[in-house]
């Protein structure tokens, strides 16, 4: 059969099965349910942009305030939907029908309850906002705002976070610190290049520095006419005082410039970009707060939420094929297993992409957003598919889908919240989505870095699930661990298959390791040293299991004879397979990583030459071959021997990792 005909046949079968999947499910849901679901989905799609941009107003009409229209507070209260304006009544306050009582220009009374106190606090904020807004409307802006502070939050440069030996950190850190601490640090009122700082009036910040002011990366300062009173200087001084913290920061970064223009506010600015702050904040300097990444959070949530619903339906339909033996008739039809799986998955994948497209459209996103959601959708569906192949009942399926939901949502959602905080956020495709929606440029390398691992993992999961999509595995009630072994053993036809299976498991290994690192990243309370050790242990466990589990499965399914020679052979094959694909992927990722800040930080060019490259190749090869062989030797005997050997292999691996880290320079 020619390739064209083969493709046509596959496509036709897949589309038929996909159409069938839709038809049969549509037949099982009454029209009213479909209508309600459609309305709910449209509502969600319509609400998403609003929620993303404005949040949800749950506090409307929450507090009752008694205030006369003649009161100077009336305008502020009436303009805030949080409050309900009522006629002032001391009796109402007393009886709990009114939280705050304003008489004339003063707050006369408030309910002595938790709600009353909250209402009072809210009123203060409202009045302050109201006053700020009035100041903004003031025709003489110079009078309204004698000091203007122009904050620019810049993307965090990786050089700020990786300064292992103090060689390169000083200047750059100093520069950045200067940038960050620009608020109120410049005292002469002059604009400093394109960067830095502020101009104030004649008030003086208590600190500041030319270093900071002179850096190219500094925050642009905007000078006002600076003719005002000392209060401005006081403000600047307050800001400038934060420079002391920045100073600490630069000291940590081995900055020897004595740059005092670092500051807490600056470092916070590094973490949260101006794009999230919404901008245009006016008021006193104390109003300047680090923007919470609310928008990232909502955007990430909106995209990941529908996937959780889709996998429920998908898992249910796949399990029904097994539990009710419906899948048997498709297995005997003239279509391949691949056709069936792709065909049954396609409608759910299309639904995920369709919903993502609608949401992206509503949020002014582009095709990149949809493109980035695609691997995530595949990952959710593939994990659910494999889980549905393992589950023996709908009860177990619930456990599976909850596990998938929690683990993959964590993987996708948590890093995306920190889109603008750290480049590691790129491990999640949702980070690409958030960046796309925020109008940031996305490089091809970044896109590949985010999307290829989940895509490859999804394909591996589908592949493993497909190994179970056959009569003797689908319709039997075997324990899940045995099914895992079935799925792995199904891919082993001969000894050299071991290397292939190890290789195809690598994307799974990579993502698992990324998730583990993301988990450790979340545990910021741990010391750096402990975090590194835990990371090395996690990596060793993941890699050794990935190199040996299918070898053990092969022994369980009598794919190999149990001689020592065979064990060493399959172990070596597994190690070599892992090494080859790991290094290949490293080369590929290096190309991508070198375009990223994190990549440049991790692999500076001097480290990738001569003996270092050679040791990068030979030592890991030896490690993987040795540890995989240890596990294989244990696997040939029994389950207990395998576990014991696996522990030994992990210990060797951890020891190796620690040695490498110490040789390269433990900081």
Question: Of residues 58-77, which lie at the interface with other proteins (CB under 8 A)?
Answer: none
DSSP β-ladder status, 100-103 and 106-110 = antiparallel
C-beta closer to other proteins: residue 186 or 339? 339
* 561 touches other proteins by CB under 8 A: no
Binding of other proteins by 23 (CB under 8 A): yes
Give yes or no for residue 27 binding other proteins (CB under 8 A): yes
Contact between 335 and other proteins by CB under 8 A: the answer reads: yes
The span of 17-25, 38-46, 511-519, 594-602 binding other proteins (CB under 8 A) equals 17-25
The answer to the question of residue 82 lying near other proteins (CB under 8 A) is no
The SS3 of residue 142 is helix
- Taking the complex as a whole, the smallest distance from the CB of residue 399 to other proteins amounts, in Å, to 25
Residue 336 or 569 having the CB closest to other proteins = 336
CA distance 100 to 124: 11
* Residue 562 contacts other proteins per CB under 8 A: no
Could you tell me which residues come within 8 angstroms of residue 404 by beta carbon, excluding any fewer than 6 positions away? Answer: 311, 380, 383, 384, 387
Report whether 450 contacts 426 (CB < 8 A). yes
Count of other CB atoms within 10 angstroms of residue 364? 11
Is residue 333 within the footprint of other proteins (CB under 8 A)?
A: yes
Q: Which of 331, 353, 602, 658 binds other proteins (CB under 8 A)?
A: 331
Please report whether residue 392 would count as binding other proteins according to CB under 8 A: no
Of residues 117 and 470, the one with the C-beta less far from other proteins: 470
User: Contact between 326 and other proteins (CB under 8 A)?
Assistant: yes
Of 28, 61, 96, 479, the one binding other proteins by CB under 8 A: 28
State the SS3 of 182-222: CCCCCCCCCCECCECCCCCCCCCCCCCCHHHHHCCCCCCCC
Q: How far is CA 399 from the centre of its chain?
A: 24
For the bound state, the minimum distance from the C-beta of residue 274 to other proteins, rounded and expressed in Å, comes to 54
Using the structure block, give the residue that is written with the tokens 């205030």. Answer: 67
Q: How far is the CB of 366 from other proteins (least distance, A)?
A: 37
Q: Tokens at residue 584, please?
A: 């290949």
Segment interacting with other proteins (CB under 8 A) among 141-149, 329-337, 378-386, 504-512: 329-337
User: Cβ closer to other proteins: 331 or 526?
Assistant: 331
Confirm if 666 and 530 have CB atoms less than 8 A apart.
no
CA 609, chain centre distance (Å):
33
Enter the tokens of residue 647.
């522990």
d(CA 13, CA 321): 18
- Residue from 24, 124, 134, 493 in contact with other proteins (CB under 8 A): 24
Q: Which stretch binds other proteins (CB under 8 A): 22-30, 290-298, 354-362, 429-437?
A: 22-30
334 binds other proteins (CB under 8 A): yes
Q: What is the nearest approach in angstroms of other proteins to the Cβ of residue 37?
A: 16
| Long-range contacts, 158-166 (Cβ 8 Å, 24+) | 158/423, 158/597, 158/598, 158/600, 158/601, 159/597, 159/601, 160/253, 160/270, 161/422, 161/601, 162/601, 162/602, 163/253, 163/254, 164/665, 164/667, 165/665, 165/667, 166/253, 166/254
Decide: is 280 part of the binding site for other proteins (CB under 8 A).
no
> How far apart are CB 334 and other proteins at their closest, in Å?
4
328 forms part of the interface with other proteins (CB under 8 A): yes
Taken in order 459, 465, 469, 470, the sign of the CA dihedral is positive
C-beta of 15 vs 220, nearer to other proteins:
15
Residue 173 near other proteins by CB under 8 A: no
Among 95, 134, 325, 639, binds other proteins (CB under 8 A): 325
- 22 is a site residue for other proteins (CB under 8 A): no
Within 13 Å and on the Cβ side, how many CA atoms surround 439?
5
Nearest approach, Cβ of 561 to other proteins (angstroms)? Answer: 17
112 binds other proteins (CB under 8 A): no
Token pair recorded at residue 436: 């796309």
**Which of 472, 587, 605, 662 lies at the binding interface for other proteins (CB under 8 A)?**
472
* Size of the residue set binding other proteins (CB under 8 A): 22
In contact, 545 and 625? CB cutoff 8 Å: no
| Minimum separation from the CB atom of position 24 to other proteins (A) | 5
Nearest-angstrom CA–CA distance, 608 and 614: 9
> Among residue numbers 212 through 231, which ones bind other proteins (CB under 8 A)?
none
Q: State the nearest-atom distance from the C-beta of 330 to other proteins, in Å.
A: 8
Number of other CB atoms surrounding residue 234 within 10 Å: 17
Distance from C-alpha of 503 to C-alpha of 327, rounded to nearest angstrom: 30
* 332 binds other proteins per the rule CB under 8 A: yes
Q: Which of 658, 651, 654, 656 is nearest to 631 (CA)?
A: 651
Please state the φ and ψ torsions of residue 534, each to the nearest 5 degrees.
-65, -40
Point out which span in 20-28, 208-216, 406-414, 626-634 binds other proteins (CB under 8 A). 20-28
Binding-site ranges for other proteins (CB under 8 A): 13, 16-17, 20, 23-24, 27-28, 324-326, 328-336, 471-472
């Amino acid at each position: 059969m020619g390739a064209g005909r083969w493709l046509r046949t596959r496509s036709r079968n897949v589309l038929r099965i996909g159409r069938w999947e839709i038809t049969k499910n549509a037949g099982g849901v009454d029209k009213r349910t479909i209508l309600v679901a459609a309305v709910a989905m449209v509502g969600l799609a319509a609400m998403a942009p609003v929620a993303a941009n404005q949040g949800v107003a749950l506090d409307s009409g929450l507090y009752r305030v008694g205030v006369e229209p003649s009161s100077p507070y009336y305008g502020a209260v009436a303009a805030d939907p949080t409050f309900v304006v009522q006629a002032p009544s001391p009796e109402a306050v007393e009886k709990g029908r009114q939280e705050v009582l304003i008489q004339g220009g003063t707050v006369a009374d408030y309910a002595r309850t938790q709600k009353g106190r909250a209402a009072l606090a809210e009123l203060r904020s409202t009045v302050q906002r109201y006053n700020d807004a009035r100041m903004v409307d003031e025709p003489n802006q110079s009078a309204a705002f004698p000091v203007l502070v122009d904050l620019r939050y810049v993307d965090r440069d990786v050089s700020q976070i990786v300064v292992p030996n103090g060689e390169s950190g000083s200047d750059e850190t100093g520069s950045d610190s200067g940038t960050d601490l620009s608020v109120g640090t410049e005292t002469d009122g002059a604009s400093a290049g394109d960067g830095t700082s502020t101009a104030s009036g004649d008030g003086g910040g208590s600190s500041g520095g030319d270093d900071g002011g002179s850096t190219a990366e500094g925050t642009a300062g905007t000078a006002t006419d600076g003719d005002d009173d000392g209060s401005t200087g006081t403000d600047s001084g307050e800001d400038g005082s934060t420079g002391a913290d920045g100073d600490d920061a630069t000291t940590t970064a081995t900055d020897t410039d004595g740059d005092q223009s670092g500051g807490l506010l600056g470092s916070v600015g590094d973490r949260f970009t101006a794009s999230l702050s919404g901008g245009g904040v006016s008021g006193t300097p104390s109003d300047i707060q680090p923007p919470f990444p609310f928008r990232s959070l909502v955007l990430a949530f909106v995209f990941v939420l529908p996937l959780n619903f889709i996998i429920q339906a998908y898992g249910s339909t796949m399990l029904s094929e097994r539990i009710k033996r419906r899948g048997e008739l498709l297995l005997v039809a003239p279509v391949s297993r691949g056709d069936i799986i792709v065909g049954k998955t396609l409608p759910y994948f299309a639904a995920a992409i369709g919903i993502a497209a609608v949401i992206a459209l509503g949020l002014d996103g582009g095709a990149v957003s949809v493109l980035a959601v695609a691997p995530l959708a595949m990952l959710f569906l593939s994990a659910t598919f494999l889980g549905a192949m393992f589950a023996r009942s709908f009860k177990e399926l619930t456990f599976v889908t909850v596990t998938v939901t929690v683990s993959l949502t964590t993987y996708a959602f948590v890093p995306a919240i920190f889109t603008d905080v750290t480049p590691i956020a790129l491990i999640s495709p949702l980070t690409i989505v958030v960046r796309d929606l925020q109008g940031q440029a996305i490089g091809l390398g970044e896109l590949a870095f985010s999307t290829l691992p989940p895509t490859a993992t999804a394909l591996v999961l589908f592949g493993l699930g497909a190994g179970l999509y056959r009569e003797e595995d689908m319709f039997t009630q075997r324990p899940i661990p045995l099914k895992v072994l079935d799925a792995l053993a199904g891919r082993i036809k001969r000894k050299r298959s071991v290397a292939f299976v190890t290789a195809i498991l690598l994307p799974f290994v990579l993502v698992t390791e990324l998730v583990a690192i993301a988990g450790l990243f979340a545990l910021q309370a741990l010391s750096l040293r402990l975090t590194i050790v835990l990371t090395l242990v996690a990596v060793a466990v993941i890699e050794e299991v990935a190199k040996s589990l299918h070898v053990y499965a092969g022994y369980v399914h009598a794919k190999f004879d149990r001689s020592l020679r065979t064990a060493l052979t399959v172990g070596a094959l597994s190690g070599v397979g892992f090494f080859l694909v790991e290094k290949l992927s490293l080369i590929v990722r290096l190309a991508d990583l070198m375009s990223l800040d994190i990549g440049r930080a991790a692999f500076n060019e001097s480290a990738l030459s001569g003996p270092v490259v050679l040791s990068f190749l030979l030592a890991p090869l030896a490690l993987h071959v040795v540890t995989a062989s240890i596990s294989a030797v244990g696997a040939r005997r029994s389950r207990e021997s395998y576990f014991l050997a696996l522990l030994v292999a992990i210990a060797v691996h951890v020891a190796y990792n620690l040695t490498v880290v110490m040789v390269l320079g433990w900081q």
